[in-house]
């Protein structure tokens, strides 16, 4: 991590954190210890572009690139609301979404531990999807039905990691890492 003088010389923006009462707390020169590749929560546009040379602007406060994930091309979006990296969202197409979801969930569990339990509503939808798959005799994810989805969530000291399996009509897995400090 750079010292305060180095960060100031780069002209870094201040981080802001929304508080429960709706006010905003400024977090000057915040840089997370948690990383995705070379990216750290709190990095400014210039810092991120310097660290990852092939990023292109893809919306307001968004930088994007394509990279390989699990042997497939993934579209990666870096979100910088308020000028600092607050989330990274990855999406990749999968010919076997249910199997890929379970494999990626198992890999993430080795890193982050057991995922948090789903909410009651999420559990109902997952149960309906399992019943529909059993009745049809095949994975309803292959049919692109809206019930074909899953979710796994992990929380660390500074981050949330969310894995989501497909919703119709796209068989794209999504992995979203977000800062718990710099939530948009």
**Residue 58 region, left (φ>0) first, then alpha (ψ -120 to 50), else beta?**
alpha
Tell me the pLDDT band of 78, cut-offs 50, 70 and 90.
very high
- Residue 45: which domain range? 32-179
Give domain status of residue 17, yes or no: no
Which residue did the predictor score with more confidence, 116 or 13?
116
Task: Say yes or no to pLDDT of 19 above 80.
Answer: no
- Number of domains, the chain: 1
At residue 167, the pLDDT reads 60
Give domain status of residue 184, yes or no: no
Give domain status of residue 26, yes or no: no
Mean pLDDT confidence for 67-74: 83
Give domain status of residue 9, yes or no: no
At residue 63, the pLDDT reads 95
Give domain status of residue 136, yes or no: yes
At residue 170, the pLDDT reads 63
At residue 129, the pLDDT reads 62
Give domain status of residue 143, yes or no: yes
Scored b (16 or more CB within 10 A) or e, 52-76 reads beebeeeeeebbeeeeebeeeebbb
Geometric angle at alpha carbon 94, from 91 and 99, rounded to 5°: 115
Take residue 178 and report the two structure tokens written for it: 């977000």
**Residue 68 region, left (φ>0) first, then alpha (ψ -120 to 50), else beta?**
beta
Which residue did the predictor score with more confidence, 117 or 148?
117
At residue 38, the pLDDT reads 87
Give domain status of residue 15, yes or no: no
Give domain status of residue 74, yes or no: yes
Task: Say yes or no to pLDDT of 1 above 60.
Answer: no
pTM above 0.75, yes or no: no
Task: Say yes or no to pLDDT of 46 above 60.
Answer: yes
At residue 148, the pLDDT reads 45
Which residue did the predictor score with more confidence, 179 or 12?
179
CA 29 to chain centre: 22
At residue 56, the pLDDT reads 95
Reduced to 3 states, what is the DSSP secondary structure of residue 25? strand
Q: Can you give the three-state secondary structure of 104-171, one letter per residue? A: HHHHHHHHHCCCECCCHHHHHHHHHHHHHHHHHCCCHHHHCCCCCCCEEEEECCCEEEEEECCECCEC
Tell me the pLDDT band of 8, cut-offs 50, 70 and 90.
very low
């Amino acid at each position: 991590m750079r010292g305060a003088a180095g960060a100031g010389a780069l002209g870094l923006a201040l981080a802001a954190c929304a508080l429960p009462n709706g006010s905003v707390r400024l977090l000057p020169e915040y840089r997370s210890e948690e990383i995705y590749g070379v990216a750290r929560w709190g990095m400014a546009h210039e810092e991120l572009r310097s660290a990852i040379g092939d990023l292109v602007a893809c919306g307001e406060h968004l930088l994007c690139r394509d990279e390989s994930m699990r042997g497939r091309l993934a579209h990666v979006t870096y979100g910088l609301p308020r000028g600092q990296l607050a989330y990274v969202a990855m999406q990749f197409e999968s010919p076997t979404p249910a199997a890929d979801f379970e494999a990626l969930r198992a890999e993430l569990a080795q890193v982050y531990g057991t995922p948090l339990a789903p909410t009651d509503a999420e559990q109902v939808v997952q149960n309906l999807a399992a019943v529909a798959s059993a009745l049809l005799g095949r994975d309803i994810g292959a049919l692109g039905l809206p019930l074909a989805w899953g979710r796994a969530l992990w929380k660390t000291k500074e981050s949330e990691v969310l894995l989501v399996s497909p919703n119709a009509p796209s068989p794209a897995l999504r992995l979203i890492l977000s800062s718990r400090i710099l939530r948009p």
